[in-house]
Amino acid sequence: MKCRTDEIEKTKTSGSIAAKFIASLALAMPFLVSAAEPHHIHIALSNTSEAVGWYQEHLDCELAMGRDNVVLCGNTEIEFFLGRTVGGSQGTGVDHIGFSVPDLDAKMAELESVGVRGSGVRLIRFEDGSLVRDIPGLFKIAFITDPWGTKIELVQDEELLGFHHIHLNSVEPVAALDWYNQVLGGERARLKGMLDGVLFDDVWLLASEYTDGRPGITQGRTIDHIGFEVADLDAAAEQMSRLDVEFRQEPMVPDNGRSGAKQAFILGPDGVMIAVVESGWAGIEEEVFVAESSDSAELYVVPRTPWGEPDLQGIWTADAAHGIPLQRGVAAGESNELTPEEAAARRERGTLNSIWGYDREWRDTTLGYVKSAPSTQVAMIVDPPNGQLPETTEAYKQLVANAPPRIPPQRARTPVDLGTYVRCITRGPVGMMMPSIYNNGLQIIQSPGNVAIQKEMIHETRIISTEPREGFGEGLKTWLGDSHGHWEGDTLVVEVRNLNGRTSYLGSSENMKLTQRFTRTGPNSLEYRFTVEDPSVWTEPWTGMFNFILDDSQYELVEYACHEGNYGMTNTLSAARTLDAREAEQASNDEE
């Protein structure tokens, strides 16, 4: 359920709600506490099915019966919905949520072994580099974030396992907790005699003092709102009104509700949006978003430049193609297309498999601003028809078998031991075009006889002549090779040769010939086909294809400042030297 309002500015002043409420108690008539129970946490993100799987796998939640976007964590639901967000939960009125596990050290070791790749587990280390901290008299604690920016605290509280607490930020934490206690019930208590809070049956509501101005409002962040359940919402609303509680939505049965239960929204202290639902609440049936194609099915006439060439100019993105595998998988069978839901989940998995620990704000396809729906294309390779790479040659297989062992990045001796991508040099003429989690922009500018193609990732710009030319000759061999273009009808054909062999793609050699074809297939679509010919590696040529989408209205190519400091390079090499020192120390100890 998404509760939206145009009164955002009003929300920013809500930090004093708790204080005003406490003052109003002296004037209020005796009332019966609403006796609410924590019901749900509402999290906004870019794909619900992958979120459900993540919380099942890593936090032992269970899929709620009959609801494919909700997991049940103890008695508390976590409901996911597709929505634009401008940041994670940290620093908002609801800073994080907490789970208790029986063995925190083992849990964190398990998560650390998974790492950020594969499932997107991001670990938050303490100042000394440790993952777990033991608070004397309390319990052990640790922090992680989910792939979408929700901060999660893991604790080892044997008395209360599973979903454990909701942790608030507040400019007046005592007054805020009093507000929740008086408005929603629960028991004012101290967790382990140390942390002030409100205990709702088996869930704690805790609060920390926020000293950096005011916390951010929850709406528009990953934890969009928190929900409480009451037996009689109308009666509870009447009690809340007598206490001057601010309603953002009066009790009502919402459109698309899965049951006849009512829901209301109130504004809590420090910009926390709170849903109050009555018994029987089963959420709202979310509408599935399917981006409309802006390209007409009618015969498309490619526009022309003033000098008569097909006009390919503009800013295009490959965000929609991110997630398409190069080769057709066995599981794809004979299918030539995924469903929109399958395509969205696949792209999200592609993002999680490659986040490399980046915060969610880095990831173009997870911010919710991509106008085009994820591509339903099964695989990039369209030739051979089976969607698989051709067999490699016997000579290449022998070369690979006799090649010296590759030095892993964590043991790199010098920068040269690392790839050109890590070194901020290039991804090569094939790899530079491939979609990824960010920097998928492609800008094309034309002039008579020339086409400039700039790729956002590693700021590659190629000036390609389309003037008649005979052959390539030997020439100077470079990182991106020698590119020359010509027009075949409405298609720009670019041939790339004379590579230096240091930008290999899947083992390609300096003898590789790359043929790129750019064809405008609609007002907002640009088909990109690439054919790789390398007889020293593959027994036959192979061709891949995907589409770029025009996005002049909101996309802007930004500077790729990878070289500035290149902290990844520095940290990789320093980590390798640390491993060397540890091994040397261990060897010395063994000799003694």
- Rounded to an integer, the average pLDDT of 330-337 is 66
Whole-angstrom distance, CA of residue 577 vs CA of residue 373: 45
pLDDT at 368: 59
Question: pLDDT confidence of 232, banded at 50, 70, 90?
Answer: very high
- Closest of 267, 288, 360, 275 to residue 15, by C-alpha: 267
Domains annotated for the chain, with CATH where assigned, are: 8-278 (3.10.180.10), 314-550 (no CATH)
Whole-angstrom distance, CA of residue 25 vs CA of residue 182: 9
- pLDDT, tens digit (0-9, with 9 covering 90-100), for 532-559: 999 999 999 999 999 999 998 888 888 8
pLDDT at 369: 62
Output the CA–CA distances (angstroms, integers) from residue 304 to 308, 392, 443, 462, 518, in the order listed. 5, 42, 17, 22, 15
Which pairs from 471-478 meet CB under 8 Å and 24+ separation? 472/497, 472/498, 474/498, 477/501, 477/510
pLDDT at 458: 87
pLDDT at 240: 94
Cβ–Cβ < 8 Å for 74, 55: no
Which has more pLDDT, 361 or 424?
A: 424
- pLDDT, tens digit (0-9, with 9 covering 90-100), for 348-387: 887 777 655 566 666 676 655 666 789 999 999 999 999 9
- Phi then psi dihedrals of residue 89, to 5 deg: -80, -30
pLDDT over 50 (residue 32): no
DSSP 8-state assignment for residue 439? -
* Percent of the chain with pLDDT strictly greater than 70: 87
DSSP 8-state assignment for residue 411? G
pLDDT at 30: 41
- Closest of 280, 235, 230, 224 to residue 253, by C-alpha: 280
DSSP 8-state assignment for residue 95? E
Mean pLDDT of the chain: 87
- Closest of 47, 48, 45, 100 to residue 74, by C-alpha: 100
CB atoms within 10 A of CB 70: 22
- pLDDT, tens digit (0-9, with 9 covering 90-100), for 199-228: 998 999 999 999 998 999 999 899 999 999
pLDDT at 564: 77
* DSSP letter for each residue of 475-516: ---BSS-EEEEEEETTEEEEEEE-B-SSS-STT--TT-EEEE
- Rounded to an integer, the average pLDDT of 495-513 is 94
321: alpha, beta or left, given left = phi > 0 and alpha = psi -120 to 50? Answer: alpha
Question: pLDDT confidence of 119, banded at 50, 70, 90?
Answer: low
pLDDT over 50 (residue 392): yes
pLDDT at 560: 84
What angle (nearest 5°) sits at the alpha carbon of residue 81, between those of residues 79 and 85?
120
- pLDDT, tens digit (0-9, with 9 covering 90-100), for 435-451: 988 889 999 999 999 99
Residues 6 or more apart in contact with residue 426 via CB below 8 angstroms: 420, 432, 458, 460, 479, 480, 503
- Tell me which of 146-155, 174-183, 280-289, 355-364 is least confident: 355-364
Burial (CB count <10 Å: 0-12, 13-18, 19+), residue 65: exposed
Q: Please say whether the dihedral angle defined by the alpha carbons of residues 418, 419, 420 and 423, taken in this order, is positive or negative.
A: negative
Which has more pLDDT, 350 or 586?
A: 586
- Quick one: angle between helices 340-352 and 48-59, nearest 10? 50
Whole-angstrom distance, CA of residue 112 vs CA of residue 133: 15
pTM: 0.79
Token pair, residue 366, equals: 């997870």
